[in-house]
Structure 1
């Protein structure tokens, strides 16, 4: 009799949870999912065609188009970014922990590449490229005119880790003893790098 009571109690709790969650907002991938009946065209639109200013220290502006900007991307496994480059603008070495990235140059000329994992550390470069998930890669406008590229990413929330920003701009700072040994430089070099403002490029 005791085991029947437990089974009935579990069934009642499961039914109550189902009823409660049917009326509560639903979250998928940590993002709120709109009721499909309430969706509108703005849930699927971005200003990707609008050029952005590049008058900053790295000569670059990234316009992300992911689930944060377009709620309709949630669960679709894709996102985009428009990247505007000033002449000699740089998208510094960075990685996307949750996405492979394919880059297409629309205007201008870019020097792009990625580095394979330890122990090889091989550099691959070209004009347009696929950057495998998690590998460090970069884009540099080596021309005298502006450049524009579109990146397609295999996640609605790819994330970005810019190497210099996280290593030298962390809060609190990584010990200069650690970084001096890791990069095999004097602590004064590390202190100088940690004192810089690391532009939030993504």
Structure 2
């Protein structure tokens, strides 16, 4: 009986771990593809989305051009992110992947941010980038892990962790990144904390950041770039 009990416990632990991994990324598709449509007329309902009838799908549902065009980096942070997710390619629905092109002006920054639903893998196409992410509070005590990347280098940012990229060169830089979600989401830290609508209370922010109220008021008055 003790042996059976131990085996049962192992099975339960295994199933619990399997369940946790299953929720670590987008749900698995239940058919070959599920082209998202806004109008439910003549559509199927699969994986929580209205989908075009597969017999009506065309190549255009899985296609987007223009990723060779540089984004406009004339903003305060000097970077631009061109997204290619389910909003741009409906055929990505349920497939669990997306893509971005990131352009950086000289000394341009993709500010500290997180993707709540995706791990990111970034490849530098041109230039030199200083990149990094911060580990979580409890696991390893907010360790900063950084690397200088050159053309052809690849770096991974784990799901949910705060990360950034900074162009350290005198010329433009370009990177392509893949993300493990059709809609990874993005939370830019400064925008969320100091640019929320309505603003977070001064009492909260002064205590959280251990600064005076006038510092918080100054930061909240800035125009935060929605990159």
Q: State the TM-score, normalizing by the size of structure 2.
A: 0.76
Displacement after TM superposition at 1:27 (Å): 4.2
Displacement after TM superposition at 1:32 (Å): 3.5
- Assess if the C-alpha contact under 8 Å between 1:78 and 1:155 holds in 2: yes
d(CA) in 2 for partners of 1:56, 1:121: 30
- How has the CA–CA distance of structure 1 residues 86 and 56 changed in structure 2, closer, same or farther, with 3 Å as cutoff? same
Partner of 2:213: 187
SS at match of 2:216: helix
d(CA) in 2 for partners of 1:61, 1:36: 35
Matches within 5 A, 1:1-202: 24-28=42-46, 31-46=49-64, 47-119=66-138, 120-126=141-147, 127=149, 128-201=154-227
Partner of 1:9: none
d(CA) in 2 for partners of 1:29, 1:87: 43
Structure 1 portions without partners, runs of 5+:
1-21
d(CA) in 2 for partners of 1:30, 1:86: 40
Which shows bigger deviation, 147-156 or 26-35? 26-35
d(CA) in 1 for partners of 2:187, 2:45: 25
- How has the CA–CA distance of structure 1 residues 25 and 125 changed in structure 2, closer, same or farther, with 3 Å as cutoff? same
CA deviation string 1:154-184 (max 9, x = no partner) = 0101000000000000011100111011011
**In angstroms, what is the RMSD of aligned CA positions?**
1.6
Structure 2 portions without partners, runs of 5+:
1-39
d(CA) in 2 for partners of 1:109, 1:86: 11
d(CA) in 1 for partners of 2:122, 2:177: 4
Displacement after TM superposition at 1:26 (Å): 2.9
- Assess if the C-alpha contact under 8 Å between 1:82 and 1:151 holds in 2: yes
d(CA) in 2 for partners of 1:147, 1:65: 19
Corresponding pairs, count: 180
d(CA) in 2 for partners of 1:113, 1:31: 35
- Assess if the C-alpha contact under 8 Å between 1:33 and 1:71 holds in 2: no
Computing the radius of gyration from Cα coordinates, the structure with the larger value is 1
